[in-house]
Amino acid sequence: MQRQGWLWLCSSIDPEPGMYVKANSPHAAAAGKSVIGFNLINGKEVEGDLSLIQSKSAVDSRDLVGMFPDSGEKDVARAAKAAADAFPAWSGTPFPAREAIVLRTAGILTSHRDKLARIITREVGMTPREALGDVQEAIDACAFFATAVGAQEHSAVSGPRRRPVGVCGVLATGSSPLAAPAGKILPAILCGNTVVWKPSDNAPTAAYLLLRAMMEAGLPPGVVNTVNGRGRAGCGKHFLAGIDKGHFQSFSFVGSAALGRIVGEACGRNLILPSLDLVGKGSLVVMGDADLDLAAADAVQAAFGQAGQRPIGLVNLLVHEACATGFKQRLLDRVAALEVGNPLTHPDVAYGPMINARAATAFREHWELGLAQGATLLTGGAQWSEANRTDQVKGDIAHGAYMQPCVWDGVTPDMGLFRHQVTGPTVNLCAFQDLGEALGWIADSTAGATISLYTREPAPIALFQQTSRADIARVNTILDDRTTLLSFTGHGTRSGCQPLLDGFTRWMSGQGEGGWAPASGAKAPEPVAGSLKTDWDSL
């Protein structure tokens, strides 16, 4: 059934051209309207087999950002069939036609980036600056992958060539609601594959608008399909089961290491090469000769930006004993000056709320863990409220999980605080004497995916470059630099490197021209105008 059955659940619906919106709660009317969304399967908006999910704002739980289907096993099967049916024609479409759709998508996103950024701020709690950054990353990814795939498409003129693999499953974190899925979907479709995407239930509205933009750009029906719903207890369970059922010939995941292991195991059973970007935290190493002001400023930005929920962030600050006292004071002064609060009414705050109640609960639990292990909490350790707020807290925080910034001291490499990922606005201070030993500590933890080294001397830099085992390494610059197009903690294929095509293409030996020439007998779809129009002004 399409667009009809459960609309009666929503009152005050305005049927805008091609999209439904409704009036928000009177308490959140200033935030914007609520989007009534659907699964997008075979170019059509369809309901799910189950009930619906409400995407409430991380900033203010009274703000209903969107309502979407809670999909089940049959919905996943429908989407996979639509993608499989669309594959022959799409894989036979000449690369320039695929590229043109992706570049038109970039133009649509650019035209409406402020609207998209506001939806992201409402939905996941990013500051407007952070939300605009996520939108811009998705826009930049369109050009980046078009260029990268295009270069490969023209590189082979004879002999073995690459062919698209088929239907690609995509599952990505809500902490980067546009950029993370774009980094998987775009190379997949540019290579001639079709996609089934389960958006995060933390950010279904942003995902819905991204795919509508792609369809407005002329993406043919069935090339990208979405199934919305809850995580591992709901639609996510059925989506992952699709690997074993043969729905997917490739699978991309952006999220936690724990779920990444499950995805990798399922792909291994089915001889599918996964593309895993595992969200993690990194380390920052400060030598005695470093620019301490620069290191402290970068540490605060990396640790507390997006309330410590970035796909790449900072958890461990390893400081040489020669500068530990001076650096600590600089760090604490900057943390004390952070302004935290409602990013909708106060866009210049350093960070906003936790993305959902589960994340807030997990962050509270880490306070007890650190104290039980003997670490010293220099600042933080509570949720901001009307009772304990200070002048550094801005706006209405009564309906979101706004956490105080935490700084732990006396953390050692054997503590859980050091060894495991903690999502939230927190950072650990750990003193060291020998750089080699410090790098060994990082390598043995799960927080060693990214490392920054701050020093003026060439010898530590040389040792760092020779021995570091991190995926992303920086010298005297912030470790979560958004200009990187590498995986967060990559396993399987690497979406930002030369082997980005490994998960989305297979080698085929043969004669004749290489690249992605249309398969014999395949008929490319005729260029069409966008099949779905969005009234962006209604948002």
- Residue showing tokens 């402020």: 114
Per the rule left: phi > 0, alpha: psi between -120 and 50, beta: everything else, 488 is alpha
Q: Which of 1, 90, 132 is nearest to 504 (CA)?
A: 90
SS3 of 474-521: the string is EECCCCCCCCCCCCCCEEECCCCCHHHHHHCEEEECCCCCCCCCCCCC
Q: Which CATH architecture has domain 280-475?
A: 3-Layer(aba) Sandwich (3.40)
Scanning 191-291, the segments in alpha helix (DSSP H) are 204-216, 235-244, 257-269
Amino acid in position 368 = E
- Residue showing tokens 């759709």: 101
CA distance 80 to 251: 12
Rounded to the nearest 5°, which phi and psi values hold at 394?
Answer: -120, 135
Number of CB atoms found within 10 A of residue 186's CB:
26
Residue 409: CA count within 13 A, CB half-sphere: 13
Query: What is the per-residue pLDDT for 422?
Result: 84
Query: What is the per-residue pLDDT for 378?
Result: 97
Superfamily the domain 40-279+489-513 falls into: Aldehyde Dehydrogenase; Chain A, domain 1 (3.40.605.10)
pLDDT digits (tens, 9 = 90+) for 326-346: 999 999 999 999 999 999 999
CA distance 169 to 510: 28
Query: What is the per-residue pLDDT for 528?
Result: 55
Query: What is the per-residue pLDDT for 12?
Result: 44
pLDDT digits (tens, 9 = 90+) for 133-178: 999 999 999 999 998 888 776 655 445 577 899 999 999 989 999 9
Q: How far is CA 448 from CA 344, 385, 402, 438, 442, in A?
A: 34, 34, 27, 11, 5
Locate the domains of the chain by residue range: 40-279+489-513, 280-475
CA distance 454 to 479: 11
Token duo for residue 40 = 């997008």
Query: What is the per-residue pLDDT for 499?
Result: 52
Q: How far is CA 412 from CA 331, 467, 520, in A?
A: 19, 21, 62
Q: Which residues of the chain have pLDDT under 70?
A: 1-18, 49-50, 153-160, 446-448, 479-500, 509-531
